[in-house]
Structure 1
């Protein structure tokens, strides 16, 4: 059964749902939600389902603004501050295992911006919003350049664009998928599982 609890942050309480593997975890994967969404998005749940069975503890974090019932996202600095505070608590709870951060859309951006601050070993970015729809000149590609191993999973029909692989950033493009990655969540999750396994962050 998943564990539900609340972590106090400087921006209000964040909710955390943690799913643990049967044995001692070999890694912790912390995932954030999209701007107006929640941690039960199909791709986030599918990733949880795919990796808990191979030794990964998965914590899905709901930002304080969503806990308070607001759909409009908080400013980026507030999101990063709350996320960093939650990660400090989660890291302490799961001391001694590598921490991989990630999320979908806005949550992926937060994970990228704070990855080095929270001492993550890697990043999983689902539906990374490369630019606002129709505004390719407003690229957010720089946020992906954390220097850490980074997996991007985007649909080829995503109106927010598709990042380009390079350096430590690997990009997997899912045919027929849009920004919500709802067509084949299990397939996207399998990409994540294989990527984690390739870096030794699973039991097999």
Structure 2
């Protein structure tokens, strides 16, 4: 599907200037706001796939760039600063008057979980939730995920060093595995599924889940 009417909006927050790239649905019933992780921007494969696919299913996608990325910095600030930026963006995300799914990948997923109830999010989409630092399972961040307080979908690579699907605790959330995927959902060339199928698992899962939100 070819996305049209893409617009870019700058938003001032207490953490600096943020940016939203809007991919509107013709007959939107939800807004999916998704931010990037600590090591990349909105150009990553999963966020771009969601922006291409979801508008055809009644979901406007807002790709969010945190102030540190807009400012050209290479390192993400502390979690509290990320939360400040997300809070400052929220009025712009809610402006269309539709329920907003708060989402993000990696560090952005943590932000969405921490702030969901406070901001009145309809649900949370956590892409590549960093359950723990690589090789440090004792440094669990499960509390953030379990405390989201709203319907939550986790999409996790089967070989994610930040937390494989089988490492996740039981809780009131749904989890979809992208087989063989790493933290960025890249799959090895020798895997039984190719990169296109891996991305399709992500988009199809999110479309189905978003449809269940009403």
TM bucket, shorter chain: over 0.9
SS of the residue corresponding to residue 124 of structure 2 reads strand
Q: Are residue 157 (structure 1) and residue 181 (structure 2) matched?
A: no
Question: After superposition, where does 1:140-155 map in structure 2 within 5 Å?
Answer: 140-145=141-146, 146-155=148-157
Aligned residues: 197
The Cα shift of 1:186 comes to 2.4
* Aligned partner of 1:21 among 2, 19, 25: 25
Query: Are the equivalent residues in 2 in contact too, given 1:88–1:118 (CA < 8 A)?
Result: no
- Compute the RMSD of aligned alpha carbons: 1.2
Contact 1:43 1:186 in 2 (8 A): no
Please tell me whether the aligned partners of residues 93 and 100 of structure 2 are also in contact (alpha carbons under 8 angstroms): no
Q: Mean alpha-carbon deviation: is it higher for 46-55 or for 79-88?
A: 46-55
Distance in 2, matches of 1:46 and 1:141, equals 27
- Counterparts of 2:35 and 2:72 in 1: how far apart (Å)? 16
Distance in 1 (alpha carbons) for counterparts of 2:169 and 2:24: 32
Higher helix share: 2
Task: Look up the match of 1:118.
Answer: 119
Report how far residue 118 of structure 1 moved.
1.1
Counterpart selection for 1:172 from 169, 173, 176:
176
1:32 is aligned, of 32, 35, 53, to: 35
Residue in structure 2 matched with residue 9 of structure 1 by the alignment: 13
TM-score with structure 2 setting the length: 0.88
Q: Does 1:192 align with 2:196?
A: no
Greater RCO, CA 8 A, separation 6+: 1
Structure 2 spans left out of the alignment, 5+ residues: 187-194
Shift of 1:168: 2.1
| 1:24-70 deviation line (CA, Å, top 9, x unaligned) | x1011100001020112110111122211011111111010111111
Query: Is the 1:36–1:72 contact (alpha carbons within 8 Å) kept by the matching residues of 2?
Result: yes
Q: In structure 2, what is the Cα distance between the partners aligned to 1:29 and 1:199?
A: 12
TM, length-normalised to structure 1: 0.92
Distance (Å, rounded) in 2 between the aligned partners of 1:147 and 1:125: 13
- Relative to structure 1, the CA distance from residue 110 to residue 13 in structure 2 (aligned partners, 3 Å threshold; closer, same or farther) is same
CA distance in 2, matches of 1:178, 1:125: 15
